[in-house]
Amino acid sequence: MAEVILINRAHICAMGRDIEIGAKCLGNNTCEFTVWAPLAERMSLRITGSPRKEIPMSREEKGYWRTTAEGAGMGCRYQYIINGSLARPDPASNYQPDGVHEPSQAVDHGGFSWNDRSWKGIPLEKYIMYELHVGAFTPEGTFDAVIPRLDALRDLGISAIEIMPVAQFPGARNWGYDGAYPYAVQNSYGGPDALKRLADACHVKGLAVILDVVYNHLGPEGNYLPDFGPYLSSRYRTPWGSAINYDGEYSDGVRNFFIQNALYWLENYHIDGLRLDAVHGIVDMSAVHILSELAERVEAFSKSKGRDYFLIAESDLNDSRIVRRRKEGGYQIHSQWLDDFHHAVHALITGERAGYYRDFGLPHHLGKALEEGFVYSGQYSGYRKRMHGNSSGDIPAERFIAFIQNHDQVGNRMNGERLSALAGFEALKLAAGTLIVAPYIPLIFMGEEYAEDSPFLYFISHGDPGLVEAVRQGRKREFEAAGGRGDPPEPQDPETMSSSRLAWEKREDGAHGALLSYYRNLISLRKGTAALNQLRRDRMRVRCSDKDELFFITRSHGNSRILCVLNYSDRELTDRAGGPREEWVKIADSADDRWMGPGYTAPERIRGVKHIDIRPYNFLLYRGGGKK
């Protein structure tokens, strides 16, 4: 396999898709500047400030322009001048200190003092992930403000944080998916060095860092990339606007731009992996799909560093090709989000059937999600009104990331309700237990672990009033089409973001504290139990019934065995199938009063009993003992 990587890398270099772009600080107050502008007739570099100076750029092969500027080192502000008149920030700007419309600033990535030299990463299958939005995670809303909270996450049992996009977006409030500068670190969060301080602190504390990146579209405000070249395609559309040009004329430069971006985060910010947003919005009819090429480049990067770096895809295609190996015809992305698991749990817990939930709501949906991954693997989808998906039954479980909440599933609701606002306390514990015993990598959305009751709403801070109104009306139409009533919260209002911030003071109080303790216990059990922390679906059995909404799950690894019982019904159920011959000892019961439960009825030990009484929305976990 190594030989294939070398051959392909040489081919990529020959095609001009291995060229670093942007401002590169060389020392001695000098920077080299490289930009891709294949259709420009003239390019020059403008160093802003006083005195202002302009330096002609030399055209090179494949549409690249380059120049070296003395007296323009770290911290210099600059723009590119296209065809003698059009001044624009650098498409590969590392920092936009004054926002998306103003000059770029050069960053010396060699000047940061790292403390994580002994960090070798964590195997992906060992991840317990925690998704957070930097602006809403703390009252301060900065990278530096996250650092004092890392001990709380580590105490919870988290081993990796996943940060929503930080590429520069307009204003100070945004989810991050409106980024216009894929290389620039958001100024209102603290900029480049602050992100490095966060990554460094995570590694020192034994936490990995995943960064969410957006390679399917560009934000609508401050997006000047089309002034430089054909970054966008008129042949395809995405739900967010024009698609990225990955397969048309001049697409080699576009592909290089985004592949270099991925390597840039791994190299300069010591990021351990990238979450690729909505890859179903990437259209590429090339013989080598951009995802496959990206995976190959990250694999080569990992080999050069002597450790693994990861790519995680978000996709609603239910296409196993994304995570299949190349020899199986896949793209070899390391893992992907498993939406079907979420939908199956959510529909059972809440009873919702609107939108894509119409395809879910029966116990066998969750049973299949646990056993195979994709629930829809070629069957007819009533929501999509067509056949959907292909089989993932033979895909290793570590290639899926499961969750019961995330930013999309919460924030794309009109009022941003978390699961804590949609389901009772016992149901929350049941859903959490299901997540932790599932044979996938678990992801927890910030605040989920203590039943945060603040919403997570959609918020923006665009500077263009027309764009603000377009966003407002677009979201209103979207929710009306889905049957929503009334107006969604005003996305431009600063209070919309403020109301979405976590209330950390609630974490240890009352039911919040009880749920937090419950999560800690579940994660500890998962980490300490081989049958749970070894992600093997071939050593799992699921028995469930659409009639009574009762699940029996067994998992094993060597001498380690667990039995999990789930009651997704709102009534007490009695299993009369006859007890197992093997002895099982209870190690977790969501009805326990130490987690503010109603008190348990299930026995502490079971072996050959005639029946088991199981509370409504009860989660039971037993560890195997000796056979009879």
In angstroms, the CA 33 to CA 91 distance is: 12
Alpha-carbon distance of 310 to 266, in angstroms, equals: 10
- The Cα–Cα gap between 55 and 65 comes to 12
Place of tokens 């203590």: 450
Identify the active-site residue in 284, 314, 319, 575.
314
Q: Please give the C-alpha separations between residue 13 and each of 45, 63, 264, 296, 596, in angstroms, as whole numbers.
A: 26, 15, 17, 13, 61
| Contact predicate 370/540, CB 8 Å | yes
> Does residue 316 carry a catalytic annotation?
no
Whole-angstrom Cα distance, residue 442 to residue 429? 15
Phi, psi values for residue 362, rounded to 5°: -110, 145
Distance CA 244, CA 231 (A): 6
DSSP character at residue 30: E
Length of the chain: 628
Catalytic residue check, 394: no
Q: Cis ω on the peptide bond leading into residue 51 (within 30° of 0)?
A: yes
Please pick, among 277, 296, 449, 589, the residue that the annotation labels catalytic: 277
**Rounded-to-integer distance, Cα 614 and Cα 576, Å:** 11
- Residue 227's closest CA among 82, 102, 85, 100? 82
SS3 content of the chain, % helix, strand, coil (to 5): 35, 20, 45
48: left (phi over 0), alpha (psi -120 to 50) or beta: beta
Residues carrying an active site annotation: 277, 314
